[in-house]
Structure 1
């Protein structure tokens, strides 16, 4: 098969070190907004050598010996943007006033993200959460069924309008807006 010269010319070039340094320095002058489905990921390590048959059901319990929490969905995008150290990074999303909301807010704050654009949902709203159960104790680790907390209905229209208004009000202060829709209900 024969390739034309234009096909060879359009091949992407590797970025050299000087250009990479220039880009990383330039991002420090950029103000970025991140809008989307912010979720919390949880990892629960279970030691199955400590599991006992439940007195309540014919199942073994899952003794959690370690747990960690991290940004998921669009929150992961936001944390990665913050790691590039832009001038500012604003978050725009809706979280709940449940046990997961403060955990996710802390993860975002620890990454250096601005939380001014984070709204609180109605009483029946949940902060989306994906809990990964990792079974240990008998050789290799194995992931068990995930535990999810998700919203089963769309965001109320008035809250969606308020979120859009948050972004609109900040546009003059932003150089770019990243929108990451992970198709999480709500």
Structure 2
């Protein structure tokens, strides 16, 4: 991938340490139960996992925060948690990674979203979700707007990370983009199906292939079709740039000058795609606000994604990981 030498990427990583990013979205607590498959259960035709390790990590928008702070940036987290132990654990974990959690609001009408994954060896066997979806209460939405306004003024970028849990309402999306525009702060969007076309005038809009297909009502197989989809989304959203991630087929960026950039990843064994999109939006955001053009930023984000899909579970990228990936 031309232009991304170790020396060059080291300088970019140094610039990332001066950046501050506000992450607004659906925060979750990821739980992991690691173990080994010992036998088939006599009670039902399912495997028995003998657990030997438990772990908790920030998930969803929290994983975006982890990627940003792991790469050296400062980060403000704005989202909802329940009035429960899981929420308190999530905030504590975010703070341990250096995030400012003053924007995390306790909502009394919902529990903290928790995703529990059971993993044996390098294989995820099961995921159990505990959550309540839906828009937050009106008074909570008002608090979110206040937190957003207070955080954006001194930010270098904003990431809107949507997982369809209800935090990102149409009004909050519009308010956030409007406030960011006042302060000339770029807004990067990782959307889901709800409110897909509400993100008008985003700086970067990053759906994955399936999300783009569903929103446009088409199937996208060929690279030329994906490029055309980028152009349609860019036009309908009045976005500065659109990036469609395509899994093993790489990424397609349509930049601010309407130039297409298609980057394919190196062939490698994929262990787990969980969290790869979080890593991409985090890396490309920091790359772009650190001075990289669209082509180089996408290539750097591709390197980051190559690393995380080779790991089991949701893991953030570190500067060392990224440098090693560039070298490799």
TM band (smaller chain): 0.7 to 0.9
In the other structure, the counterpart of 1:117 is: 103
In the other structure, the counterpart of 2:147 is: 166
Q: Compute the displacement of 1:64 (Å).
A: 3.9
Q: Compute the displacement of 1:14 (Å).
A: 3.3
Matches of residues 24-173 of structure 1 in structure 2 within 5 Å?
A: 24-46=13-35, 49=38, 64-86=51-73, 88-122=74-108, 124-135=109-120, 143-173=124-154
CA distance in 2, matches of 1:141, 1:125: 33
**Bigger share in strand:** 1
- Report 1 or 2 for greater relative contact order, CA contacts < 8 Å, sequence distance ≥ 6: 1
CA distance in 2, matches of 1:66, 1:184: 29
Q: 1:60 to 1:170 in 2, by over 3 A?
A: closer
- Provide the aligned C-alpha RMSD in A: 2.8
* Count, aligned residues: 167
Instruction: In structure 2, list runs of 5 or more residues that go unmatched.
Output: 168-328
Query: Per-residue CA shift, 1:43-102, capped at 9, x if unaligned?
Result: 113556499878xx9x9986643211112111001100001112x211111111112112
CA contact 1:51–1:62 (8 Å) conserved in 2: no
TM-score, normalising length from structure 2?
0.45
Query: Per-residue CA shift, 1:126-169, capped at 9, x if unaligned?
Result: 1111101235xxxx665443211111332112212211210101
Q: Compute the displacement of 1:35 (Å).
A: 0.9
CA distance in 1, matches of 2:72, 2:129: 31
Instruction: In structure 1, list runs of 5 or more residues that go unmatched.
Output: 1-11
CA contact 1:95–1:118 (8 Å) conserved in 2: yes
Structure 1 SS opposite 2:103: strand
Structure 2 SS opposite 1:173: coil
**Bigger share in helix:** 2
CA distance in 1, matches of 2:127, 2:155: 37
